[in-house]
Structure 1
Amino acid sequence: MDNIYSLEGKVIIVTGGTGILGNSFINGIVEAGGAVGILGRNKQIAEDRAAAINAKGGQAIALIADALDETALQEAKAKTLDRFGRIDGLVNGAGGNMPEGVLQPEDDIFKMNLEGMKKVLDINLWGTILPTQVFGEAIAKTGKGSIVNISSMNSKQAVTKVLGYNIGKAAVDCYNEWFAVELANRYGDAIRMNALAPGFFLTEQNRNLLTTPDGGYTQRGESVIRKTPFKRFGHPDELIGALVWLLSDASAFVTGSMICVDGGFSIFSGV
């Protein structure tokens, strides 16, 4: 029996591939047999990660691009097709938050940094849509593939301080469902779109918000842990199983879904 969880022969692009979660994504794809395009703005990290994978017998290519730069994305697509001849999947891992998109408790709610909020919204929403427009076109020419968006616990519940991120991920969920239907209307079951919704994982963007320099929890971190039945943060590698499943033929009848990998955060009332 064929291994339906294998990504052997598949070429997968990972935007945000130079980040912490992106590192687990690319390594998980390679471990499952896939070739990976590591797309991000940090040239050194992308090249180092690709070199490490290639040195171990895997297949990887560094793609230097901003997820909001269509010209750079088109160049990355051309480079991938020149190297591998096909694109079978896309992981829209680019996104996140930034200081100008944060509203502190002492800030005036009617004087929010709206430009900052919009900037965060753009990277999460349009940083998902634009790469899909570019790489999805190549997937359609391949004839079969899977696209995985990255949602968040913020998309379904109000998480304080981070309005731009909240509305960005809520918009990604809307897009995920809408575009999955449109893909099905045009390509049947050949091209699927789903979302992975991580719970709270420590990254460079949120580490100072959730933990103290001595390794303890901030007040916000303690609130997250109380709301998480597993009583811990997730490890990036714990996203790999769900991601590989969504990219592989094992999830052939799954589209428009949101898979929560969150230690129970999304289902717990806190009581």
Structure 2
Amino acid sequence: MDQFSLKDKVIVVTGGTGILGEAFVNGIAGAGGTAVILGRKLEVAQLRAQKIIDASGRALAIQADVLKKDEIIAARGKVLAEFGKIDGLVNAAGGNMPGGIVQPEADVFDLDMDGLRQVMELNLWGTLLPTQYFGKEIAKNATGSIVNISSMASQRAITKVLGYTLAKTAVDAYTKWFAVETANRYGDRVRMNAIAPGFFLTEQNRTLLTTPDGGFTTRGNLVINQTPFKRFGVPEELVGALIWLLSDASKFVTGTVINVDGGFAVNSGV
């Protein structure tokens, strides 16, 4: 048996309508798993699910907001009604917001606390809440895996993105804490790990990092210079680590944060 196979595994992907989410759900389907595409944009989720089904894969589109308990519980019911179980969860919902960004000219003693709180809620509570309700079902199986999405912002001080940094640093701490606590209660039946992407172009950061003619902005050049591979990542390059963490190939791995960053985190710049 291929230990990297996701055959017969039902995997829920929050943020499944985003750019990275698209790579995740396609990767899961490609590895033989059933991809549950959960997001606020139902039409996008349905298009992605149909594409997988047309390619002889298994997928289900569900509209839900990861910050709304009732919608998560309703989504869980739909998954169980359709497939009878949940084997894995990818907490890919998240992102930045203007209120969580601190510009260079801003007074650091006059921060937008409400804005910071919103970014914290989306990225941290948007990870905790799905884990609470989908994880309860995952724990009923012989093996299950939960994968969170971290960030370089939790490992290096990256200017401007304070709210995102606070949230993703908390996600790292949660990943380690929850991995230990689930192991204490469920043994090796529930694993929790995280993937820390380097810089990948998404809808949110494209204009911050690139110019309309395909060049790099000042900030984009700073990122490229810090990345030994001298390029941005491609979403599909996250899929290998994701499949490994969701599959039985990582059965003895928990509480880890896997960098997929082109060397950004380890580069001193010297």
TM range (shorter): over 0.9
Task: State the number of aligned residues.
Answer: 270
Q: Find out whether 1:211 has 2:217 as its counterpart.
A: no
CA offset at residue 251 of structure 1?
A: 0.5
Match of 2:152 in 1: 153
2:192 alignment partner, SS class: strand
Distance in 1 of aligned mates of 2:174 and 2:106 = 31
CA offset at residue 175 of structure 1?
A: 0.2
Q: Find out whether 1:227 has 2:226 as its counterpart.
A: yes
Distance in 2 of aligned mates of 1:35 and 1:140 = 18
2:118 alignment partner, SS class: helix
- Is contact 2:200–2:235 with CA below 8 Å preserved after alignment? yes
Match of 1:179 in 2: 178
- Residue identity in the other structure for 1:48: L
Match of 2:35 in 1: 36
Distance in 1 of aligned mates of 2:181 and 2:109 = 38
CA offset at residue 26 of structure 1?
A: 0.2
Per-residue Cα deviation, 1:124-152 (whole angstroms, up to 9, x for no partner)? 11100000001000111234200000000
Distance in 2 of aligned mates of 1:100 and 1:191 = 35
In the TM superposition, 1:120-269 aligns within 5 A as: 120-269=119-268
1:111 alignment partner, SS class: coil
1:146 alignment partner, SS class: strand
CA offset at residue 154 of structure 1?
A: 0.4
Distance in 2 of aligned mates of 1:76 and 1:54 = 20
- Residue identity in the other structure for 2:177: W
Distance in 2 of aligned mates of 1:31 and 1:16 = 18
1:60 alignment partner, SS class: strand
**Which region of structure 1 is more displaced relative to structure 2, 109-118 or 181-190?**
109-118
Distance in 2 of aligned mates of 1:236 and 1:107 = 33
CA offset at residue 170 of structure 1?
A: 0.1
* TM-score, normalization by structure 2: 0.99
Per-residue Cα deviation, 1:18-39 (whole angstroms, up to 9, x for no partner)? 0000000000000000001100
- Residue identity in the other structure for 2:45: A
CA offset at residue 215 of structure 1?
A: 0.8
Q: Which runs of 5+ in 1 are unaligned?
A: none
Distance in 2 of aligned mates of 1:217 and 1:113 = 29
2:140 alignment partner, SS class: helix
2:249 alignment partner, SS class: helix
Q: Which runs of 5+ in 2 are unaligned?
A: none
- Residue identity in the other structure for 1:237: E
In the TM superposition, 1:65-144 aligns within 5 A as: 65-144=64-143
- Is contact 2:120–2:164 with CA below 8 Å preserved after alignment? yes
CA offset at residue 90 of structure 1?
A: 0.2
Per-residue Cα deviation, 1:65-118 (whole angstroms, up to 9, x for no partner)? 111111000000000000011100000000110112111111222222111111
Off by >4 Å, runs of 4+ in structure 1: none
User: Percent identity among equivalent residues?
Assistant: 62
